Amino acid sequence: MGKKLLALLLAAMMCLTLCVGCDSEDPPADNARKDPVTDAKDPADDAKDPVPEEKVPVVYWGTWGAEKQEYIEKLMTEFNASQDKYEMHYEYVGSMNDLLAKLQITSEADLPALVNATTEQAGTYMYSDFIVPVSEFASTSDPAVSMLYGNLVSTWGDLDGNMVGYPMGNSMAGILFNMDLVGQLGVDPYKDITCLEDLYDICKNLVDGKICTYGIGADWSNIYLNYALSIEGVDSVDNDNGKSAAPTKCFYDQPGTKEYVERYFQLWRDLSDNGYCYNLGASWGNEVLPAFASGDLALVTGTIGGYARLANAWNENHDTPCNIAFIPWQAVTSEGRSSGLPASGNGFYITKAANEAAREGAWEFIKYFSQDDNAATWCTITGYLPISDGCYNSSIYKDYISSDTLDFQYLIDQQSSSDIRSYHPLTPINTEFQAAGIEALEKVIADPSYSIDTAISEMAAAINDALDLWHLEHK
């Protein structure tokens, strides 16, 4: 196994709980976010049908179990029957860490042609020398690429829009509002929220006005800081936020970025110190969600995948449905560029491990998977937002959202109009990157006397040390 692949696996092995696009967003029900369902049968227990001699075997190792696995296997059966060149086979390997562990212990000759990974792991795979960019199979003018919404291209493509990986959907990060509570303030999230700093007064008025006990509850991850900075128009690392080359330096403590990190940390400190937010660091699924369902808090940070869970939790506790609004994640300040919107969620990667024919087969399956009705059905299963207008306008998706009060057209417009400059920073050290950000924010919130400046300096130093080590190992 190549040294770069081994390094990728060792670095990514610790990503388990830190992959936010991965696990906290879409919960058990949707895990459109990241946590793969773990209650599916072990494919190793299944007898594998032999691949017809005339067909090229194409293996996909994935983290989708239960209903998602059933759907993927259904599509593969249809795909296999639709042509006589390739034979797709899906192997459920468990969590993202299980996938990485299996990649690590498998001989190169037995590695799959296709894998899936989260948006936060994009840099890890991109700089691993393990994948073949999708752009080698399809140019930006290829219909399978040109149909994609702008924020998906920004996340899964390079600086010119050439695709590196390929999205399976968008688990859009944002803010969910209980409008029965927020509406008492006369607030319209779609019009009145221009940045994260707008949230403070809303939370203050909700709590001071005794409308609810807490204003906001948070999905605990550093992904939200990185998204806010990207939407603001500033980078978290050098080299075009990691797109033009593997980053060498963290910008958190550098002029032009530091001031926005300070304001982000100060916002959460102020919300916490004044009792306007639910205990930061609390479990989203086990604590924040029940607090929302009981009416104790009115705002929740999370992803579109969390929408159904919040609505269902509310409906289990109340006679009337909860009126929920959802807006995409915001820049820190009202001066933010706000012309881009990073996508979250999961996507495909084609590996170098497979032979050329198997790679071609993997790409053909990706195209089949992304056909309008197929992609739309996937969205109804996962909670992801559509990847294209064709997917969004599919009768399958339209029926799915027909009874919802959520303004899906607003969200689709945000995806469609997004340029390709906003994306989660591409870094091969995502584990350290995420951990350092959470640790810094935890210190700031836990101790009001702890200097935000010191927290930022320590956070940047930890990330820079990890980057230095990575580059040393990859000379």
Q: What is the pLDDT of residues 101-141, one digit of tens each?
A: 898 899 888 999 999 999 988 998 999 888 999 999 999 99
Over residues 161-174, mean pLDDT: 94
Tokens (6 digits) for 368: 């089949």
What is the model's pLDDT at position 17?
35
**What is the band of 178 on the pLDDT scale with cuts at 50, 70, 90?**
very high
pLDDT of 22 above 80? no
Over residues 309-321, mean pLDDT: 85
What is the model's pLDDT at position 335?
87
CA 309 to chain CA centroid, Å, is 17
β-partners of residue 301 are 175
The identity of residue 442, as a single letter, is E
CA angle 21, 26, 31 (to 5 degrees): 100
For residues 184 and 344, give the distance between their C-alpha atoms in angstroms, rounded to a whole number.
Answer: 31
Q: Are 407 and 192 in contact (CB under 8 A)?
A: no
- Report the run of H or E that residue 90 belongs to, with start and end: strand 86-92
Q: Position of tokens 């084609």?
A: 350
Determine which of 45-49, 201-205, 266-270 has the lowest per-residue pLDDT on average. Answer: 45-49
pLDDT of 30 above 80? no
The identity of residue 439, as a single letter, is E
Over residues 339-364, mean pLDDT: 92
Residue bearing the bigger pLDDT, 91 or 32:
91
Burial (Cβ within 10 Å: 0-12, 13-18, ≥19) of residue 265: buried
Over residues 343-366, mean pLDDT: 95
Percent share of the chain, pLDDT over 90 = 73
pLDDT of 80 above 90? yes
**What is the band of 340 on the pLDDT scale with cuts at 50, 70, 90?**
confident
CA angle 213, 214, 216 (to 5 degrees): 155
β-partners of residue 118 are 346
**What is the band of 422 on the pLDDT scale with cuts at 50, 70, 90?**
confident
Q: Are 134 and 166 in contact (CB under 8 A)?
A: yes
Average pLDDT of the chain, as a whole number: 88
pLDDT of 347 above 70? yes
